[in-house]
Structure 1
């Protein structure tokens, strides 16, 4: 039975979908004003693992991930670079999709752009005004009246909010201590992009965007809404207020949030200028999937400290997993080993139990490592178990089979070396071993014969 930690109730709950086996999943996506840093990418990996886990458990998931292409930071970038919104966002949207592909993140079913939903945003704001939850200020902007929504602050745990007369928040991001009426529609400012509305020319506030897009594609009540912990307030708090005030229904049943990636004791962020991108990791010679492995090793609700030593360890761990799976293929071709009765079922049950325990992926990885070395299971069954579990991990474990395929010229050298070894010409055999190594492959002599595997010389095998 799947249990997930719900930020709204502050406890781990049994997951009960609205429909028996069909789930609506809304995952907060990128604000495309700059390259995503790996702290952002940690959140997207967590959201991907959640979706993979749900699908592994037999649910049919419809995932929607928004792309915020109109927001304070995007506009600031456009003005400073004297570009249009599209000119600013186009390249960063492409980078985002390149990054998630490199990290084996499954694409969402829908990626709505905020600027393609302005009409729906205006309609929702009009409904809020008609119901008395919103008003137009003297500055021409439209604000949500938090005093009218009695549950405001429940997600973040705010109580007894003192609403100060005439004090409003027009920024997209602010601290919970500054909680006041927040902006739904911003009156036009010089140099900013704008659209016509019943309240004059302007643009939407950030929070209204996700309310509109989530309800349009997933309905008025959503099974699961995710994001990073920094989205809890004000963004998700305000989404709840807007959405439930319009529909009179519960907006989201399960709020699930991923913790920060930290570096040097502080959260990674562009404002602190302490961030790295996926390209920084690749430029150091590490595989993108190594960052995914690093993220999987920590629970999504725990802070994760990023260091170059930790990414190096993750990189080696992924490579070793591939190598061990390649070795199992090699051994399986040389001997027949029978699997003990119920062993496979036991491992499957333990893995399912780990996943259902609020996505205990680190325990799942520990189970994977135990399977690889369990000689009570045939090499073929061990590999099959690992590949099945990789539906959740997304580590591209089947890449082991690609790496296992040795080019003909390497096979020829290895075969020649075997003949020389059997003739006890060990100096010549070592020379051939070094020759093979210089061409990007290592030879491990085993009781079954030579096991050949690519070494870590990046120039010698395809980038993974």
Structure 2
């Protein structure tokens, strides 16, 4: 099937360590006898998946399927991010708390990207281009180090920490914000976890934001506070900065009309109709 659908010689062959011998030894021998070529240039063997310290297997009755996680309301990029946090040479010990931690980490990334979208252009920062180049170089070197994704993510987190205060004080102009977004777009070709287009606001939230801004301009502080409180109840926190009000808009994704690509792909592969009810923040999965 591999030679028919892909090629007689593959760049990378991926599988679990427990198939290293004799399965892959036999596979190599059969392929080379058939084609006269090596089956793969590189063989990447990952460690096994555990559940609470025990190997995930049907005989143990502890198999957690993707459809189970999706039905609990977790989305594809949360599951993907959880898996990226563990190096492929180390066992992945699945726990519900790992998915919740992945969700929190992604929301922090979403917060940062939301600021890039929501804050108006400000003053340019003279060192921003250097920060971006340094982060991208560290990210690339980490991946060259045996796909050390954790090290690569650490470089990304350092960049966000360094530039978050600059962004909050509105010391980035529109071109520099776009530079960061384009850098994240390149990184996302590897990670596939960012929500780079920002987060859609429901119409009623947009109406409340406009009402509050009008009240502020009219110096109707009571009406402005009422609109702010109504937004807070919907999960939108409005922060007043030197450049004007900024909204943490990623916290309000309702109603969710579109699935992320990873989730949509999984549902398609399962041949089932997507479920889009989002899990409540902090909700855990019970295997």
TM-score category of the 2 structures, normalised to the smaller one: 0.7 to 0.9
**In the alignment, what sits opposite 2:184?**
386
What is the deviation of 1:455? 5.9
Q: 1:399 to 1:306 in 2, by over 3 A?
A: farther
Query: Aligned ranges for residues 254-333 of structure 1 at < 5 Å?
Result: 254-331=42-119, 333=120
Report if aligned partners of 1:215, 1:221 keep a CA contact under 8 Å in 2: yes
**C-alpha distance in 2, partners of 1:251/1:286?**
37
**In the alignment, what sits opposite 1:173?**
none
**C-alpha distance in 2, partners of 1:214/1:383?**
37
**In the alignment, what sits opposite 1:429?**
224
Q: 1:444 to 1:358 in 2, by over 3 A?
A: same
Q: 1:425 to 1:228 in 2, by over 3 A?
A: same
For this pair of structures, how many residues does the alignment match? 248
What is the deviation of 1:272? 1.5
Q: Is it true that 1:357 corresponds to 2:152 in the alignment?
A: no
Q: 1:276 to 1:217 in 2, by over 3 A?
A: closer
**In the alignment, what sits opposite 1:238?**
26
**C-alpha distance in 2, partners of 1:298/1:218?**
28
1:433-462, Cα deviation, whole Å (9 max, x unpaired):
232344453323333222224465664444
Report if aligned partners of 1:244, 1:250 keep a CA contact under 8 Å in 2: yes
**In the alignment, what sits opposite 1:83?**
none
**In the alignment, what sits opposite 1:395?**
193
Report if aligned partners of 2:85, 2:150 keep a CA contact under 8 Å in 1: yes
What is the deviation of 1:318? 1.3
Query: Aligned ranges for residues 196-275 of structure 1 at < 5 Å?
Result: 213-275=1-63
Instruction: Structure 2: give runs of 5+ residues left out of the alignment.
Output: 167-171, 261-287
**C-alpha distance in 2, partners of 1:349/1:283?**
38
**C-alpha distance in 2, partners of 1:396/1:342?**
22
Three-state SS of the structure 2 residue aligned to 1:271 is: helix
**C-alpha distance in 1, partners of 2:121/2:27?**
59
Report if aligned partners of 1:440, 1:460 keep a CA contact under 8 Å in 2: no
Moved more, 411-420 or 344-353: 411-420
What is the deviation of 1:263? 0.8
Indicate the RMSD between aligned Cα atoms, in angstroms. Answer: 2.8
What is the deviation of 1:238? 1.7
Q: Is it true that 1:373 corresponds to 2:161 in the alignment?
A: yes
What is the deviation of 1:247? 4.4
Report if aligned partners of 1:324, 1:372 keep a CA contact under 8 Å in 2: yes
**C-alpha distance in 2, partners of 1:370/1:424?**
40
What is the deviation of 1:419? 4.2
- Return the TM-score normalized by structure 1: 0.48
Query: Aligned ranges for residues 155-194 of structure 1 at < 5 Å?
Result: none
Q: 1:458 to 1:233 in 2, by over 3 A?
A: farther
Higher RCO (CA 8 Å, separation ≥ 6 residues): 2
Three-state SS of the structure 2 residue aligned to 1:299 is: coil
Report if aligned partners of 1:413, 1:432 keep a CA contact under 8 Å in 2: yes
Report if aligned partners of 2:238, 2:246 keep a CA contact under 8 Å in 1: yes
**C-alpha distance in 1, partners of 2:7/2:75?**
39
Q: Is it true that 1:410 corresponds to 2:208 in the alignment?
A: no
Query: Aligned ranges for residues 24-39 of structure 1 at < 5 Å?
Result: none
